A = this chain, B = another copy of it.
């Protein structure tokens, strides 16, 4: 269930930040993976999006989106789909080696904008930002590639998710941006024309006040937020816009537990840690009168099986809940929870 008013507020807040910074907002749609939620963005003027797979690009293309960056290293086994997508929309792709550019050319992928994937410390994909030579080599390969265009340099500084607070997240943001800007400046000076700089993860984009610097930002999770963002301070409890409505199938007052159909296949096994270092998988949103988060110390999802979720809590927090009721759960990680739901989230409501 999406609280439409909250999601819209989250979208508009990020739009204003991007506008103030003179950056294009290219939101990452992997968070919701939903036509309905995508339209909330489109209704507010967003035209450029990010996705994380070719399948997701096709899904949003079917709903009329025509400027899409696949922020995931090119899957060479899907070149046929990429050729089709490039023919009907402005398609951005990620490359991090000369060889990959050459293989795209050999496979006749044309009409795409190529972003050079740069690793600014997350250590997952991309060319290390210090390796100016390798970045320039890929830039030259793109410039020489018929039908392909260099869009710029792109990074995902996902290490913000392991940071301990606003100051550390801001430091990661600045370091990533500085590194990318330096490399982009070198390329521009070497005659590569306009070289974009694309950054963005929700913690950085939410917690850094002034986003001036990059040409575009690509946060995703901010539209819904979740317990991970709440823990990082990227949002308040009032910004939580997505819950999973789970049927209660058993109540055990003597154990202070309630069991719901809401398991690993619905919420995912991603977790946040409580003060004692124990993982939990979700918290309870009271939706009786507007949305109000129940303190996770009073009730939280303490274990998940494939279909079962076990909520443990103080007697008062679980009082009166019985089989047949619905409990609304805020997941630890909204992207994985929303992705697991079939069909994609479409129900929207506006309560707060």
Listed in ascending order, the chain A residues whose CB lies under 8 Å from chain B are 30, 52-53, 72-78, 96-97, 99-100, 103, 123-125, 158, 247, 249-250, 255, 259, 261, 264-265, 268-270, 303, 305-308, 310, 322-324, 326, 335-336, 339-340, 342
Instruction: Decide yes or no: A307 and B30 within 8 Å by CB, A100-B323, A247-B76, A323-B100 being known contacts.
Output: yes
Complex contact A323–B73 (CB within 8 A): yes
Nearest chain B residue, comparing its CB with the CB of A263: B52
> In the assembled complex, which residues on chain B have CB atoms less than 8 Å from the CB atom of A124?
259, 303, 305, 308, 310
Query: Shortest Cβ distance from A296 into chain B, in angstroms?
Result: 19
Complex contact A53–B307 (CB within 8 A): yes
> In the assembled complex, which residues on chain B have CB atoms less than 8 Å from the CB atom of A269?
268-270, 336
Nearest chain B residue, comparing its CB with the CB of A335: B306
> In the assembled complex, which residues on chain B have CB atoms less than 8 Å from the CB atom of A76?
247, 249, 323-324
Q: Which of A30, A76, A310 has the most chain B CB atoms closer than 10 A to its own CB?
A: A76
Q: Lowest 10 CB-CB distances: which A-B pairs, in order?
A: A76-B324, A73-B249, A269-B269, A52-B307, A73-B250, A77-B247, A75-B247, A265-B339, A125-B250, A125-B259
> In the assembled complex, which residues on chain B have CB atoms less than 8 Å from the CB atom of A97?
250, 323
Complex contact A259–B73 (CB within 8 A): yes
How far apart sit A255 and B76, CA to CA, in the bound complex (Å)? 22
How far apart sit A203 and B345, CA to CA, in the bound complex (Å)? 36
Choice from B77, B307, B324, B336 contacting A326 with Cβ under 8 Å: B77
Complex contact B305–A158 (CB within 8 A): yes
Complex contact A72–B249 (CB within 8 A): yes
Choice from B74, B247, B249, B264 contacting A249 with Cβ under 8 Å: B74
Nearest chain B residue, comparing its CB with the CB of A56: B307
Complex contact A324–B103 (CB within 8 A): yes
How far apart sit A264 and B333, CA to CA, in the bound complex (Å)? 11
How far apart sit A123 and B252, CA to CA, in the bound complex (Å)? 10
Complex contact B340–A265 (CB within 8 A): yes
> In the assembled complex, which residues on chain B have CB atoms less than 8 Å from the CB atom of A158?
305
> In the assembled complex, which residues on chain B have CB atoms less than 8 Å from the CB atom of A308?
72, 124-125
Query: Shortest Cβ distance from A254 into chain B, in angstroms?
Result: 9
| Other 6 A-B pairs with CB < 8 A, given A72-B307, A72-B308, A306-B339 | A52-B306, A77-B324, A97-B323, A100-B323, A124-B303, A269-B269
Q: Would you list 20 pairs from A and B whose C-beta atoms are within 8 A, ordered by A residue?
A: A52-B306, A72-B261, A72-B308, A73-B249, A73-B250, A77-B247, A77-B324, A78-B247, A97-B250, A100-B323, A123-B255, A124-B259, A124-B303, A124-B305, A124-B308, A124-B310, A158-B305, A265-B336, A306-B339, A340-B340
How far apart sit A71 and B324, CA to CA, in the bound complex (Å)? 17
> In the assembled complex, which residues on chain B have CB atoms less than 8 Å from the CB atom of A247?
75-78
Q: Which of A247, A249, A255 has the most chain B CB atoms closer than 10 A to its own CB?
A: A249
Query: Shortest Cβ distance from A78 into chain B, in angstroms?
Result: 8
Nearest chain B residue, comparing its CB with the CB of A245: B77
> In the assembled complex, which residues on chain B have CB atoms less than 8 Å from the CB atom of A100?
323
> In the assembled complex, which residues on chain B have CB atoms less than 8 Å from the CB atom of A326?
77
